[in-house]
Structure 1
Amino acid sequence: MSTTDPDCLFCKIVAGEIPATVVASDERTVTFMDINPATRGHALVVPRTHARDLLEIDPEDLAAVARAGQRLAKVSKATLRADGINLINSCGAEAWQTVFHFHLHVIPRYADDPLQLPWVPSAGDQEQIQATGAELKEHYA
């Protein structure tokens, strides 16, 4: 397992080579807003070290991603007044994995949201994504 993959979209986001609305980061993880959100506040938590999927990720990185996902879930519920939260990881193309760098979807759910799983990603409103990311980031202090 390499530290980074030069062809990996998420490795490029972690390295700052591709812009993203980063909500939080620590020594093992980066949390950023999904550009194809299923609902308002949909974000991704990724390990800094490249791992293709759940079967390849280092257990310590997996634990760090889980902790970051739980923290974002709490912040999302309080800040965005989400009624619930989905934590989703897809392992393999047949399980809907489209970016082959382990990631955890943290998807706030609302009583009136139209999301039915699996959702079909479509481009979101960039201003709303950035504003929501800023709103969540503010509560990470």
Structure 2
Amino acid sequence: MKKTTIDNVTIIDIPKIIDAKRRGNLCVIENEVLPYKAERIYYLFDVPSDASRGGHSHINCHELLVALSGSFDVVVKDGKNQKTITLNKPDKGLLIVDGIWRELDNFSSGAVCLVVASETYSEADYIREYTEFLKSKQ
């Protein structure tokens, strides 16, 4: 696994088109916005405020997380450092590269988390135990 750190986790501005007639805004995520080709798109919703999602790392997959509605916190860890990022704007995405542990919690009522992944689902790409994650970072 690459020696990625939380410094490799970045906020990406998603292009926003503001409607001059005030009919609402439009955001577009095209492959030019991402540093990878999108292979899988999914979303989380109806997550109870006391529930946690994530709790894993990827070996190869990169993911862009976007709060389409509401807000939630993303805790990222690299084995030495950790940072909490609150996502609450649909025109901002959090790019999490491979080799970063992530936990999502503190979901607001009505929160929707969109995930745009660089890989299709493969259980072999997941590290689901934190102790194994720490070993992979050595």
Q: Which protein has the larger Cα radius of gyration, Structure 1 or Structure 2?
A: 2
Tell me the TM-score normalised to structure 1 length.
0.28
Greater helix content = 1
Higher RCO structure (Cα 8 Å, ≥6 apart)? 2
Tell me the TM-score normalised to structure 2 length.
0.28
